[in-house]
Structure 1
Amino acid sequence: MRKVQILIPLLLALSCQVSAKPPLAIAIHGGAGTILKEKMSEETEAAVRAKLGEATNAGYAVLERGGASMDAVIAAIKILEDSPLFNAGHGAVYTYDGKHELDASLMDGATLEAGAVTGVRHIGNPIDLARLVMTESPHVMLMGEGAEAFARSQGMVMVDNEIFNTERAHQSLLKAREKLKEQEALGKDYQAQVNELPPAYLYGTVGAVALDANGNLSAGTSTGGMTAKRYGRIGDAPIIGAGTWADNASCAVSATGHGEYFIRYHVAADICSRVKYQGIPAAKAAEHVIQDVLLPAGGTGGVIVLDALGNISMSFNTAGMYRASRSSSSALETGIYKQN
């Protein structure tokens, strides 16, 4: 009888361990900004939602197969980079000189290892190069021609800069140039000229965060930067801690918005630090930083956040943010506007 009494609790404990599967989760974004339903056609909205869903499902499929969160993040981001709908990869905006300069970053929450590239012109999927920087070099960030030389040394194929051309981005460049020249003619300095650009020209990014069956978090971000950017401008997307952060002890974050503010306020790392050191829930930490810290300072944008328990949160202080998520406890969801 005593053997039976000992065996029953043991079997119950083992049963609980088997049934309590580790959570799987992924969230993505395609940029925040002045995204209004009345200014978007039904066709465009449908295309955006379809691509967000495709990217999310691709990343989640990696997790379902037992893959690493890093692989899931990359799988999702590459689909967004390959789409002309978003300001990353093949949909990247133009610099003032009519070129495309791409940035990307990745971070592994298990090891805090990270990789980033900035100002690359001939890399079809910058997120792949960011991973190589992390895994195959002793560095965290490489830039421009040096980053591309490293890419060639790793066997990556170079592409023509023109493959990133889109009519939508070209029209935005022409309008931005005209606006900048108008402000210059009025005697305004460069900073004042940029301040007069419509908010939509200042940002546009894609990103993903994921949690795998081993409890490891990862985050990644990729962008074409700011429309009509000059002088080698770099935003927050490739800056570890500003646009990207992941730590198994707290959360994973990918940001999108007016990069200069996200750099100054170290937004991604700040959110996770509040979780790690103050014990604040990730959703509450994100909301505080985006709404109560960033917005009063003049910073606009948003974040996707994923904690170690698989809780997904998304906070933005703009009219909209392209976003989607899926987890072991929730089906695919996509959103664009404040009210989905």
Structure 2
Amino acid sequence: MRGFSAPIVRALAALCVAFAVPAAAQEAEPRWSIAIHGGAGTIARENMTPEQDAAYRAALQQALDAGKAVLAGGGVALDAVEAVITRLEDDEKFNAGRGAVFTWDGTHELDSSIMDGRTREAGAVAGVTGIRHPILLARKVMTDSPHVMLAGDGAEAFAAEQGLELMPPEWFDTEARREALERMKVEKLSALDVDIKFGTVGAVALDSHGDMAAGTSTGGMTGKRWGRIGDAPVIGAGTYADNRSCAISATGWGEYFIRVGVAQEICTRLRLERFIDATLAADRIPTLVSPDHADLPDMPMQRLADGTTQDIADDVMDEVKALGGDGGIILVTPEGHALFSFNTSGMYRGRATSDGVNEVAIYSDE
């Protein structure tokens, strides 16, 4: 085509191909995916009875089903994340809400966070007591306050103003958690010695509208003191969501996840990978920005392979391990991949997609 530069010729050719494809073929079937976790750590088959194994799998499946129902019905990712986590917060098998570990002083201090991948709005709470569902409080911080994180007494006062459900201290108690604290004190052990796993719970979701969300909730580490806060309520460390790259929830030794900035680090690397792939493909890859996302910077969008995403997540978790930290993450991408990465012997986890995937697992060889 004389008179036109090569880039313009390629762009026109791409447009011709696009318009030649029937409209039905251009419109992909709406996809959704979800991944959940209930903690990672030293979880071995020989330490689990068949009854315990079955109970954990059933609890994970029930929580996964709650999230699936939201997404399959056309609901939004934030609601799916909330549906999963509220159920896990009520289940004493997990270290979040009821069943949270005891602090050194014999109380419960709860942390939680949630993030909207469409707008990158976020809410978090740290060191709260008596809140039945910390994840609901975190979402209220995001939607009904000008802040991102509230802590302690102030967060509890805000919860009361919002009418969230409160429970007495004993409602959160379990004998297994109390025994762990007592053994820690008597035998002068660390939290890592008495906790079989890092019990943080979390969920990440991609809805059929193309939006993502992530949420995390935890009771922290057994015997924690001085108002210790881990990664769960820290946006960018334990929780992150960005429609341009991924949604992530983490579980593990929080101090290391904070130092690496695990959740945002993985999402940022995925964005960079997309940018590099799009750049290498020259100008044949258009810049896609939905009107709903007009407030977000333009970014060339390129589909990433499942393997590429897994490699990036594994690389970041290797960094955590190199520093001395343990744990894992769950992740969903705009393509609908639902993935896990962990450097421990097990992680309570599950995932489901609109393509028919539905599974829960515990051990690293599953």
Letter paired with 1:288? D
SS in 1 for 2:101: coil
- Matches of 2:198 and 2:192 in 1, distance apart? 11
Asked if 2 retains the 8 angstrom alpha-carbon contact of 1:251 and 1:305, the reply is yes
Identity of aligned residues (%): 53
- Matches of 1:41 and 1:140 in 2, distance apart? 42
2:207 is aligned to 212
1:230 is aligned to 225
| Structure 2 residue 75 is matched with structure 1 residue 67 | yes
Structure 2 portions without partners, runs of 5+: 1-17, 275-303
SS in 2 for 1:90: coil
Asked if 2 retains the 8 angstrom alpha-carbon contact of 1:119 and 1:232, the reply is yes
Letter paired with 2:340? M
- Within the candidate set 79, 86, 90, 1:82 is matched to 90
| Structure 2 residue 110 is matched with structure 1 residue 127 | no
- Matches of 2:226 and 2:249 in 1, distance apart? 25
- Within the candidate set 262, 265, 273, 2:260 is matched to 265
- Judged with a 3 Å threshold, the aligned counterparts in structure 2 of structure 1 residues 202 and 323 are, in CA distance, closer, same or farther, namely closer
Q: How many residues align?
A: 317
Give the RMSD, CA atoms, in angstroms.
Answer: 1.7
Q: How does 1:82-101 map to 2 (within 5 A)?
A: 82-101=90-109
TM-score normalised according to structure 2 size: 0.84
Deviation at 1:17, TM superposition (A): 4.3
1:310 is aligned to 336
Asked if 2 retains the 8 angstrom alpha-carbon contact of 1:34 and 1:199, the reply is no
SS in 2 for 1:91: coil
| Structure 2 residue 23 is matched with structure 1 residue 14 | yes
- Matches of 1:248 and 1:71 in 2, distance apart? 16
1:184 is aligned to none
- Within the candidate set 287, 297, 320, 2:346 is matched to 320
Q: Deviations over 1:129-163 (max 9, x none)?
A: 00000000000000011001001111113211110
2:53 is aligned to 45
Letter paired with 1:214? H
Asked if 2 retains the 8 angstrom alpha-carbon contact of 1:116 and 1:239, the reply is yes
Asked if 2 retains the 8 angstrom alpha-carbon contact of 1:172 and 1:201, the reply is no
- Matches of 2:270 and 2:21 in 1, distance apart? 33
| Structure 2 residue 246 is matched with structure 1 residue 251 | yes
SS in 1 for 2:215: strand
Asked if 2 retains the 8 angstrom alpha-carbon contact of 1:117 and 1:238, the reply is yes
SS in 2 for 1:122: coil
